[in-house]
């Protein structure tokens, strides 16, 4: 029997339409696994949560890399970037689920960085200021870089 890599196998037994649906199903399963963390680690919340809110070319990626070098901090890159991820319907739930990764990494502080266009253009949040105020009310620390 011939050995196949999974991509070659799928390509050999499916049509282009079926492959497109398989890719789409795989993408949604990946997103679903992120949301499922929320239910698995329901009681776990990081001790400290922060957002790096920045414009482009302000050093937010450098700051993220520096923070990740600390043993107690996990800082994600732009988790609301549509190019990397997908548009999410429940952004606050998604952010909360992402913050629970600290349970898996055994870290007590979670953060991520976001840019203004990701809130206005990419996800069509009508009032980014209100969105950030709600996160602040939930205990998130907002670091603003300019």
To the nearest whole percent, how much of the chain has pLDDT over 70? 77
Are β-strands 73-76 and 109-115 bridged in parallel, bridged antiparallel, or unpaired? Answer: parallel
Q: How many angstroms separate the CA atoms of 14 and 22, rounded?
A: 10
Q: How many angstroms separate the CA atoms of 114 and 52, rounded?
A: 6
Q: CB–CB of 86/31 below 8 Å?
A: yes
- Better-predicted residue by pLDDT, 145 or 29: 145
pLDDT, tens digit (0-9, with 9 covering 90-100), for 27-84: 777 777 766 766 666 667 898 999 999 988 899 999 999 999 999 999 999 888 877 6
Phi, psi of 99 (to 5 degrees): -70, -20
What is the pTM (predicted TM-score) of this model?
0.71
Q: CB–CB of 141/51 below 8 Å?
A: yes
Residue 24 corresponds to which tokens in the numbers above?
């789409």
């Amino acid at each position: 029997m011939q050995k196949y890599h999974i991509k070659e196998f799928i390509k050999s037994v499916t049509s282009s339409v079926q492959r497109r649906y398989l890719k789409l199903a795989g993408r949604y399963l990946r997103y679903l696994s992120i949301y499922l963390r929320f239910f698995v680690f329901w009681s776990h919340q990081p001790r400290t949560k922060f957002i790096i809110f920045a414009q482009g070319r302000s050093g937010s990626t450098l700051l993220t890399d520096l923070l990740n070098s600390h043993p107690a901090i996990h800082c994600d890159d732009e988790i609301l970037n549509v190019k990397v991820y997908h548009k999410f319907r429940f952004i606050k739930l998604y952010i909360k689920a992402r913050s629970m990764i600290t349970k898996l990494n055994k870290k007590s502080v979670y953060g991520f960085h976001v840019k203004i266009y990701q809130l206005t253009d990419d996800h069509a949040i009508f009032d980014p200021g209100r969105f950030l105020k709600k996160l602040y009310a939930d205990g998130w620390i907002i670091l603003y870089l300019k």
